[in-house]
Structure 1
Amino acid sequence: MEKERNITSMIAAGLLALAAVVGAPERALAADGAALLAANCLSCHSAQGGSISRVEGQRKTPEGWQMTITRMQEQHGAKVSAEDKRRLIKYLADTRGLAPAETAGWRYLLEHDNNRVETIDGRYRDMCARCHSGARFALQRRSEDEWKLLMHTHIGLNPTLEFHSLARDRQWFPLAVNEVAPALARDFALDARAWKAWQAAPRTALDGSWRIAGFLPGKGAFEGRMRASAAGEDRYELAIEGRYADGALLSGRGVATVYTGYEWRGSVDIDGVALRQVMAADARGERMHGRQHFADSRRMGGALSALREGAAPMVMAVMPAQLRRGETAELTVVGSGLAGAVSLGKGVRVLEVVSRSPDRVVVRARAEGRDGLNDVAVGSARGKGLLAVYGRVARVEVEPANAIARVGGPGDAQMQKVGVAYRAIGWAAGRDGKAGTADDLRLGYLPARWSIEAADEEAEKAHDADFVGHIGADGVFVPGDAGPNPARPKSLGNTGRVNVVATVEAAGATVEGRGKLDVAVPDFVQRALD
């Protein structure tokens, strides 16, 4: 009975608050969220001084709150409708989210850019990151009591945890509760200045027209315009028009929701392909940066940037982003408010303006002078360090440098293949003339010829490069089929270790770069959580 009175009281309080703010949409939405939280959570959680137990002691990203509610549904039988779940995630992310400064450095997890090698404090590496990515816990904020309760939850749900590697050789649980939890509470504090400052900062609506530039595997670099029309509750309807670097046109439509005042999450369909956008807006709502990936293959994607039109004129990109000395080439300058003379920096002559509009200028240019990153200007619109001028490519890096692909299928929707999209980054030697030193000049992404080779002697003996999969001319690696392969000794599956080789032809010279690729079994755990 007491719990029922609490539920009634919380719901009534939320409804009274809602009625009191008619004509004030933002406050009304907050009151609606509070009532919704009470209605869906108080059957299990208790009311404590106007707040709800466990919820009050945590802050998370939108994805973090989505995982929490999904866990309540799957493990505890919580009955939450799809619409209520959407509204709860929005409310919790807005009121108990993370500030921009708190997500900086960890956003690759939100963007599903997962082929990263993390650098993590040793305490957390051996205690937490032996199972999770470091970004998994770094994108949460909890009180010390909540961090301790998380340790108890781990051991309760996974009672064999203490017998795992890096746990069975020490007193894992006492260390977790008595040493790691207090450290987490200090390093990832619940009551942080950054969050308080962000809560007090004014919010900028992200509707209007945006110039966008990015990259998609198999498609290449692109640029265009995205129009966002307000649809209420920080939701926007999107219309996209643009073109790829090869001149092919693109168009699409979609929707987006903004969480916590800056977290942009979009779902778009471009020429029949479903895509997801994950971006963060700056404090003034003039720029957004993040990643766009395929909806059915989240790890396959590329960078995405957006510049609000109507702000100060600005150059956002040059395509391609490099020009070799003594070479004449056609360059496309992308931005907003591009009116006036075109300058590509010291040592670069603009020979001809091929075409121009307020957001796109195509020129023929020739480079002389020294190696360096040149600023680019079109009238009063400027972009810093956007064009690399160089004499020769000294070395090539493969991005990602370390990656995991997973076999899958054939024809099994539950075990889809997980591929990897590769790009080649060129570098010129620094002033000392030696490649591989700190002052090397980054040239940006270069066209390359792609191949794979055995990673080591054991992989050579097993002929891994013949079975693990293939890489296309576009740099996209597609792994082989799951299951036994009779063509291999002992019917070994199509897993193995290879190097991905990028071969760049520049000025008559051939330069190669290599990245490491492990082709592993299907991602069973991930599929179970989806």
Structure 2
Amino acid sequence: MVVKRSTRAGLLASAFVGTWAFAAHAADVPAFYEATTLIRETCGTCHTDEGDGKFSRISHMRKTPEGWDMTIGRMIDWHGLKISPTHRERIVKHLADTQGLAPAETAAYRWSLERRPNVVRPAADETEQAMCGRCHTLARPALQRRDADQWLKLVHTHLGEFPTTEYQAQSRDRRWWEIASQEMPQALASRYGLQSDAWDSWRDKAINPADLSGAWSLSGTRPGKGPYVGTMEVERGAKDAYTTRWAIRYLRNGETAEASGDVRLFTGYEWRGTSRLGESTVREVYAVSEDGRSLTGRWFHAEADELGGSMTAVRADGPATVLHVEPAVIKPGTTTRVTLHGAGLGKGLAFGPGVNVANVEHAPDGSWVAADVTTSVDTPAGALAVKAGKAEAVLAVAADIDRATVEPPFAIARLGGGSTPPVVAQFELVGWLNGPDGKPETDDDIRVGSLPATWSVDNFDDVAKEMKDTHFAGRMQHNGLFVPAATGPNPQRPFSGNNAGNLSVTGTAEFNGKPVEAQGHLIVTVQKWIKRAIE
């Protein structure tokens, strides 16, 4: 299913239009247009030239590519800035490269940049949760860097543009202005200050990144379809611009898809791409490793970012690496065809004592190696170490799966209507082994991956049952995709209410002839008209 959404231009578009359009505009930027000259001409009316390529406000903070693009979007919305897509790209590229965030500074907040839906992350403390988290996710302050004086200016900006901030955030429960103007600038500067060792050590790499061109092996999981593997060819164009061709195969049903697209690299590691995958346009947000030999992240539908897949890729000519093992779990006392997918994989396979390996096959390009693996009835349950040459991986051995979880455990879907399509919720059932300690939900538990499942929804509580939420809120599809109904008012409901609902979600699978089941929670709520790159 592909959900199509109409968007507003610039900042308020449902996709990060500016940055993901950059690869198409990059070649149009005149070579003689220095970025500082462009900033001076575009921004200098309000931002004072401080010399040495620095400007008031602008040069005293650091942000991600999305953060800088959102800043320009605000200047357009608030102050009527006129700027072409080409010049917008040039400014964002320059600022993200010279005043960006190091990999270590974004690592904990990749979920926001990757648009991973239904992620719940607490703030650093209760005060930050109340002062920032009632309107924003934790990622909003954490993905920028300022000193205390600039954080204070941001407080003033909030009040200047949104004078009712204190009331809208329901903050009359505390000394809001005193906390906002005196405590929070210092607290945020101590956590997210302008200067950092991480940025000092990364600064040169941000403007001199590794060349990413060449062949790559990849793997990932798309909720609703399961794990996939594939390959990607990357070709370099203009500086930090690439074209890609990639192909994937879903292991659950053998379905294949091909894609081609454009990529722009920011800050030396921030991969932002747009590809045509089958009939859909997808966005790509990946983080490239420091040595340029691997990347991780997520791709998602341009018009419905809650739908997409995780991805990990490594250079095909790099060190031997296992990206995925299929199947993820085998039973004691059986013979199973096991395939390792990755890069640089040769004929040599070792599964440890008591496990026999036969009929080994491997791809000439080293992208996979397969064998018949026989375990004895005495093979202990748990993680089985696998070696393919110098590459290592883990294969789970179990007669039964100990438990399952629904991911996400709590989700929000939104009703559709008018020009605003629904926001769907995609679930998957994940199997787990308890690990060596035999206890569930401890650090040594072994995740065995997503399971093919059947899905159902029910009323979450007595109120939902009385309101017949399962009848009105929407429908669960066979692959765990919940599609909400249209918004109200609905004369068939009490008080002609809308079609919101409070639902429990159940996923059921079978392993070794035994059912495996888990529950999640779904709230179906009202529409949302504004979606930001960083909420």
| TM-score normalised to structure 1 length | 0.89
Q: Distance in 2 between matches of 1:441 and 1:315?
A: 17
Q: Distance in 2 between matches of 1:350 and 1:30?
A: 62
Is residue 317–residue 383 contact of structure 1 (8 Å, CA) maintained in 2? no
Q: Distance in 2 between matches of 1:528 and 1:105?
A: 17
Bigger drift between 200-209 and 463-472 goes to 200-209
Q: Distance in 1 between matches of 2:304 and 2:429?
A: 21
From 259, 267, 286, the counterpart of 2:266:
259
Aligned to 1:235: 241
Q: Distance in 2 between matches of 1:427 and 1:166?
A: 41
SS in 1 for 2:37: helix
From 343, 349, 357, the counterpart of 2:356:
349
List aligned pairs for 1:442-461, cutoff 5 A: 442-461=447-466
From 95, 98, 102, the counterpart of 1:95:
98
From 391, 394, 401, the counterpart of 1:393:
401
Quick one: structure 1 residues 188 and 271, their matched pair in 2 at CA, closer, same or farther if it must change by over 3 Å?
Answer: same
From 44, 50, 70, the counterpart of 1:42:
44
List aligned pairs for 1:298-377, cutoff 5 A: 298-345=305-352, 347-353=354-360, 356-357=363-364, 358-368=366-376, 369-377=379-387
What is the one-letter code of the residue matched to 1:216?
R
Alpha-carbon deviation of 1:346? Answer: 5.0
Bigger drift between 311-320 and 80-89 goes to 311-320
Aligned to 2:191: 187
List aligned pairs for 1:198-217, cutoff 5 A: 198-201=202-205, 203-217=209-223
Alpha-carbon deviation of 1:355? Answer: 6.0
From 73, 81, 85, the counterpart of 1:82:
85
Quick one: structure 1 residues 281 and 141, their matched pair in 2 at CA, closer, same or farther if it must change by over 3 Å?
Answer: same
Is residue 347–residue 362 contact of structure 2 (8 Å, CA) maintained in 1? no
Is residue 70–residue 533 contact of structure 2 (8 Å, CA) maintained in 1? no
Quick one: structure 1 residues 204 and 529, their matched pair in 2 at CA, closer, same or farther if it must change by over 3 Å?
Answer: closer
SS in 1 for 2:75: helix
Q: Deviations over 1:255-301 (max 9, x none)?
A: 11110000111111122221111110111111101111111111212
What is the one-letter code of the residue matched to 2:246?
I
Q: Distance in 2 between matches of 1:527 and 1:308?
A: 33
What is the one-letter code of the residue matched to 2:44?
L
Higher relative contact order, chain-length normalized (CA < 8 Å, sep 6+): 2
Quick one: structure 1 residues 346 and 95, their matched pair in 2 at CA, closer, same or farther if it must change by over 3 Å?
Answer: farther
Q: 1:54 and 2:57 equivalent?
A: yes
Q: 1:162 and 2:166 equivalent?
A: yes
Bigger drift between 324-333 and 222-231 goes to 324-333
Bigger drift between 431-440 and 109-118 goes to 431-440
Is residue 338–residue 378 contact of structure 1 (8 Å, CA) maintained in 2? yes
What is the one-letter code of the residue matched to 1:457?
D
Quick one: structure 1 residues 44 and 254, their matched pair in 2 at CA, closer, same or farther if it must change by over 3 Å?
Answer: same
Q: Distance in 1 between matches of 2:371 and 2:59?
A: 56
Bigger drift between 169-178 and 201-210 goes to 201-210
Aligned to 2:421: 416
Quick one: structure 1 residues 160 and 302, their matched pair in 2 at CA, closer, same or farther if it must change by over 3 Å?
Answer: same
Aligned to 2:289: 282
Alpha-carbon deviation of 1:179? Answer: 0.2
Bigger drift between 435-444 and 242-251 goes to 435-444
Alpha-carbon deviation of 1:185? Answer: 0.6
Aligned to 1:13: none
Quick one: structure 1 residues 348 and 499, their matched pair in 2 at CA, closer, same or farther if it must change by over 3 Å?
Answer: farther
Is residue 352–residue 384 contact of structure 2 (8 Å, CA) maintained in 1? yes
Moved >6 Å (runs of 4+): 28-31, 527-530
Alpha-carbon deviation of 1:528? Answer: 12
Alpha-carbon deviation of 1:219? Answer: 3.9
Bigger drift between 438-447 and 129-138 goes to 438-447
List aligned pairs for 1:511-526, cutoff 5 A: 511-526=516-531
Quick one: structure 1 residues 232 and 374, their matched pair in 2 at CA, closer, same or farther if it must change by over 3 Å?
Answer: farther
SS in 2 for 1:511: strand
Quick one: structure 1 residues 216 and 429, their matched pair in 2 at CA, closer, same or farther if it must change by over 3 Å?
Answer: closer
SS in 1 for 2:39: helix
Is residue 382–residue 435 contact of structure 2 (8 Å, CA) maintained in 1? no
What is the one-letter code of the residue matched to 2:91?
L
How many corresponding residue pairs? 499
Is residue 371–residue 390 contact of structure 1 (8 Å, CA) maintained in 2? yes
Alpha-carbon deviation of 1:519? Answer: 0.7
Quick one: structure 1 residues 383 and 473, their matched pair in 2 at CA, closer, same or farther if it must change by over 3 Å?
Answer: farther
Q: Distance in 2 between matches of 1:348 and 1:72?
A: 64
Bigger drift between 297-306 and 518-527 goes to 518-527
Structure 1: unaligned runs, 5 residues or longer: 1-24
Q: 1:440 and 2:445 equivalent?
A: yes
| TM-score normalised to structure 2 length | 0.88
Alpha-carbon deviation of 1:191? Answer: 0.8
What is the one-letter code of the residue matched to 1:281?
V
Is residue 65–residue 96 contact of structure 2 (8 Å, CA) maintained in 1? yes
Bigger drift between 200-209 and 496-505 goes to 200-209
SS in 2 for 1:105: helix
Q: Distance in 2 between matches of 1:456 and 1:88?
A: 52
Alpha-carbon deviation of 1:143? Answer: 1.6
Is residue 46–residue 52 contact of structure 1 (8 Å, CA) maintained in 2? yes
SS in 2 for 1:280: strand
From 479, 488, 498, the counterpart of 2:493:
488
Q: Percent identity?
A: 38
Aligned to 2:74: 71
Alpha-carbon deviation of 1:432? Answer: 4.5
Alpha-carbon deviation of 1:348? Answer: 4.2
SS in 2 for 1:473: coil
Q: Distance in 1 between matches of 2:47 and 2:470?
A: 54
